[in-house]
């Protein structure tokens, strides 16, 4: 049997993630206390990345939100899941992901896969984009392995601790899936939320009022999950 190309593995992993739950079994499954600690660690990372990114908007009269939201969510995902800065990969991922996602969304069209190996520029571009994403995923994994350090505070570290139970290809596909779907949907939701607010002044004012009343915002600290949930009812309704 012909070995699947990186491109096909990329498509399969991403398509599977959209229709099936991703289940990780074994000793790495954490108890409630560990989940709480994990939330606190990742919330601190996310808040730091948000503050650092938003500070770059100072002095600007306007901001192109779509790429900005894509960049900030990618950075947060990279830090929280892989423990690395994404600036090295941002441009590559954004370009390749746009091409790959377009092709993946068309996988429901019967017979389209027969053209995957054709010389048509659309399919050649997809092959190149998917291979580049696969190479990035493998580089992320190999960089972590080469560091000879053990991490249990991010998803990549947890996955690598399970190498006796799952293959490197499985780990690579998990990383690919998270790169492709771990931040794009969040970035799109945030972009549309800002667009909605710009056309609905009352909703924007209500959201600002809710934020002004949150004690953890006044104290400039990371909220507990309970605080975040209790103080963000209107924000939650906007985002969902």
- Asked if pLDDT for residue 147 goes beyond 50, the answer is yes
Proportion of the chain above pLDDT 90, given as a percent: 12
pLDDT of residue 129: 86
Model confidence at 90: pLDDT above 80: no
- The Cα angle at residue 79 between residues 98 and 232, in degrees rounded to 5: 90
Interatomic CA distance for residues 146 and 177, integer angstroms: 22
Angle between helices 65-77 and 90-105 (to 10 degrees): 100
**179 band by pLDDT with thresholds 50, 70 and 90:** confident
How high does pLDDT run on average in the chain? 77
Domains in the chain and their CATH numbers?
A: 6-17+32-53+63-186 (1.10.630.10), 200-239 (no CATH)
Q: Which of 10-14, 20-24, 64-68, 106-110 has the highest mean pLDDT?
A: 64-68
For residue 86, the model assigns a pLDDT of 60
pLDDT at 36: 55
**pLDDT recorded at residue 30:** 45
pLDDT in the model for residue 18? 44
pLDDT at 20: 44
Mean pLDDT over residues 31-42, rounded? 58
Interval 52-67 mean pLDDT:
86
Which residue matches tokens 């400039």?
220
pLDDT at 126: 82
Cα of 28 vs its chain's centroid, Å: 21
């Amino acid at each position: 049997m012909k070995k699947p190309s990186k491109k096909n593995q990329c498509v399969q992993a991403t398509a599977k993630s959209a229709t099936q739950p991703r289940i990780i079994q074994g000793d790495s499954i954490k108890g409630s206390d560990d989940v709480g600690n994990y939330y606190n660690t990742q919330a601190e990372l996310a808040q730091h990345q948000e503050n650092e990114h938003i500070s770059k908007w100072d002095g600007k009269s306007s901001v192109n939100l779509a790429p900005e939201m894509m960049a900030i969510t990618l950075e947060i995902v990279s830090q929280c899941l892989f423990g690395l800065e994404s600036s090295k990969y941002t441009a590559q991922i954004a370009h390749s992901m746009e091409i790959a996602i377009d092709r993946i969304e068309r996988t429901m069209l019967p017979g389209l896969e027969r053209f995957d190996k054709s010389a048509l520029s659309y399919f050649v571009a997809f092959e190149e984009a998917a291979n580049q994403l696969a190479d990035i995923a493998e580089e992320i994994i190999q960089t972590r392995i080469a560091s000879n350090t053990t991490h249990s505070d991010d998803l990549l570290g947890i996955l690598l601790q399970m190498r006796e139970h799952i293959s490197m290809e499985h780990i690579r596909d998990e990383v690919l899936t998270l790169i492709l779907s771990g931040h794009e949907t969040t970035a799109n939701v945030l972009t549309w939320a800002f667009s909605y607010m710009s056309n609905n002044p009352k909703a924007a004012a209500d959201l600002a009022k809710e934020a002004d009343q949150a004690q953890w915002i006044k104290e400039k600290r990371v909220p507990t999950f309970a605080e975040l949930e209790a103080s963000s009812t209107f924000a939650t309704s906007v985002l969902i």
